[in-house]
């Protein structure tokens, strides 16, 4: 590799990264954020800081978020300068063997800057929160249920690659194969900001493994994503409006499975929203998790009512079928995954189904920002 790299290649990469860092620092407003961080640190060190514990906790959360952003950008800036010095020393010494080492480090910085650029564009306060994702099979019986399970695996693999926690809270299996519906918590930095690009109907075209005649089939499944809203956001839920049912948990393992009614299903009468959880060990824990899901769903409904340009409606999503899809996955007669909103596409369908979704998520954010300005 050392023979293929030239000094100008490394120099150009350094120039590009310095420019990208400058743009990121301007977008983040780094100098202003540093000043705000100093102010917040001074407040947290005052003698009466803990007089109001709740206010202090909110302040510390804001301080930590601010510090994390400042430290990330400062760290990238220092690394670019270090590699710049490294490059100058290698150039002066005529040591071309150092160029691959420098380029490898710069490639890692470029990847981090790309992620930071994406996160800096997430302006909604909820974007940084954890997410609740639901997958529902459309019409089509076993075919649709199998497609829903394929999507479940895709998002599970994506979460693993991001280092996120993916915990299924409720699942309804298909009659013959796959899943009819499944809901899961995705916990990680900017989980909702990433996953909100996936909301909508996903279409699959393939030769059906369930068709003895090997005919081509089209299947649909819908994805819904909610922000796991902060506890300080108040959503009033009256006990009289709730109907709570318990049932036996399904799935593998555990002495309580299929023996004790630990699973919980909650119906909110005014909205008609139904949530369920069966993954926790006790009925009490399942109820707590289900209430958290209900709170998030009701909050999202209220936000939808206030948006002048709504991206989705819980009461008017349309059918899970033709005319409503946001993305197509074609396995046969050719291989192509294409987002119908952003026009982003790839023929690397195996990579996508193995969780390589970030390019689609990045293109969605750019598309959404451009359309929001119109």
**What does 310-325 look like in DSSP terms, one character per residue?**
-S--SS----SSTT-E
53, two tokens: 């514990």
pLDDT at res. 305: 64
pLDDT at res. 320: 60
Strands ordered across the beta sheet of 242-247: 242-247, 263-268, 273-277
Give span(s): CATH 3.30.70.1660, the chain. 129-197+208-325
In sequence order, what are the residues at sequence separation of 6 or more whose Cβ sits closer than 8 angstroms to the Cβ of residue 22? none
In Å, how far from its chain's centre is CA 207? 30
Helix (H) or strand (E) run with residue 352 in it: helix 349-353
Give span(s): CATH 1.20.58.410, the chain. 7-120
Q: For the chain, how long is the longest CA-to-CA vector?
A: 78
Q: How far is CA 7 from CA 235, 260, 284, in A?
A: 59, 69, 64
| pLDDT tens, the chain, 374 aa long | 444 778 999 999 999 999 999 988 988 889 999 999 999 999 999 989 999 988 998 899 889 988 988 998 999 999 999 999 999 999 999 999 999 999 999 999 998 888 888 777 787 888 988 999 999 999 778 999 999 999 999 999 999 999 999 999 889 998 888 999 999 999 998 899 999 999 999 999 998 887 767 788 899 999 999 888 766 567 788 999 999 999 877 644 344 444 467 899 999 999 999 999 988 888 988 998 999 899 888 888 876 665 433 344 333 344 565 557 899 999 988 999 999 999 999 999 999 999 999 999 989 988 887 776 55
The DSSP 8-state label assigned to residue 128 in this structure reads G
Distance CA 327, CA 316 (A): 19
Q: Are 146 and 219 in contact (CB under 8 A)?
A: yes
In sequence order, what are the residues at sequence separation of 6 or more whose Cβ sits closer than 8 angstroms to the Cβ of residue 13? 103, 106, 110
Phi then psi dihedrals of residue 174, to 5 deg: -75, 160
Phi then psi dihedrals of residue 249, to 5 deg: -70, 145
Distance CA 169, CA 275 (A): 10
Q: What is the CA radius of gyration of the chain?
A: 24
306, two tokens: 């206030």
pTM of the model: 0.67
Kindly report each contact of residues 280-284 with a partner whose C-beta sits within 8 Å and lies 24 or more positions away, as own/partner.
281/254, 281/256, 283/246
Residue 297 three-state SS: helix
* CATH number for the domain running over 129-197+208-325: 3.30.70.1660
Using CB atoms within 10 A of its CB, is residue 50 exposed (0-12), middle (13-18) or buried (19+)? exposed
* CATH number for the domain running over 7-120: 1.20.58.410
Distance CA 53, CA 195 (A): 33
pLDDT at res. 118: 78
pLDDT at res. 116: 83
**Taking each helix axis from N to C terminus, what angle separates 358-373 and 99-120, rounded to the nearest 10 degrees?**
50
Residue with tokens 């899901």: 293
């Amino acid at each position: 590799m050392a023979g293929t790299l030239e000094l100008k290649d490394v120099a150009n990469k350094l120039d590009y990264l310095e420019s990208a860092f400058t743009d990121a620092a301007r977008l983040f407003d780094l100098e202003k954020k540093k000043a705000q961080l100093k102010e917040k640190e001074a407040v947290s060190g005052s003698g009466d800081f803990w007089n109001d514990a709740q206010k202090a906790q909110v302040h510390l959360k804001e301080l930590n978020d601010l510090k994390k952003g400042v430290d990330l950008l400062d760290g990238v800036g220092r690394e670019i300068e270090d590699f710049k010095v490294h490059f100058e020393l290698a150039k002066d010494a005529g040591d071309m063997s150092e160029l691959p080492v420098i380029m490898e480090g710069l490639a890692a910085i470029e990847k981090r800057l790309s992620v930071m650029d994406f996160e800096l564009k997430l302006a909604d306060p909820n974007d940084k929160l954890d997410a609740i994702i639901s997958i529902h099979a459309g019409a089509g019986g076993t075919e649709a249920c199998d497609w829903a399970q394929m999507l479940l695996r895709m998002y599970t693999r994506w979460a693993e690659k991001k280092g996120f926690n993916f915990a299924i809270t409720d699942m309804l299996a298909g009659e013959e194969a796959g899943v009819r519906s499944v809901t899961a918590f995705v916990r990680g930095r900017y989980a909702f900001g990433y996953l909100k690009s996936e909301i909508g109907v996903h279409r699959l075209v393939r030769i059906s493994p369930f068709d003895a005649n090997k005919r081509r089939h089209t299947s649909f499944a819908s994805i819904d994503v909610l922000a796991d809203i902060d506890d300080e956001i108040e959503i009033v839920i009256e006990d009289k409006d709730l109907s709570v049912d318990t049932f036996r948990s399904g799935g593998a393992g555990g002495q309580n499975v299929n023996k004790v009614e630990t699973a919980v299903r909650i119906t909110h009468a005014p909205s008609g929203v139904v949530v369920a959880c069966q993954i926790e060990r006790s009925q009490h824990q399942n109820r707590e998790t289900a209430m958290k899901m209900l709170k998030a769903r009701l909050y999202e409904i209220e936000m939808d009512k206030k948006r002048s340009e709504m991206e989705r409606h819980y009461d008017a999503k349309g059918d899970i079928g033709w005319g409503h899809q946001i993305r197509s996955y074609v396995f046969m007669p050719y291989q192509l995954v294409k987002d119908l909103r952003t026009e982003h596409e790839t023929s690397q369908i195996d990579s996508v189904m193995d969780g390589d979704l970030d390019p689609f998520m990045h293109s969605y954010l750019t598309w959404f920002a451009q359309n929001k300005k119109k």
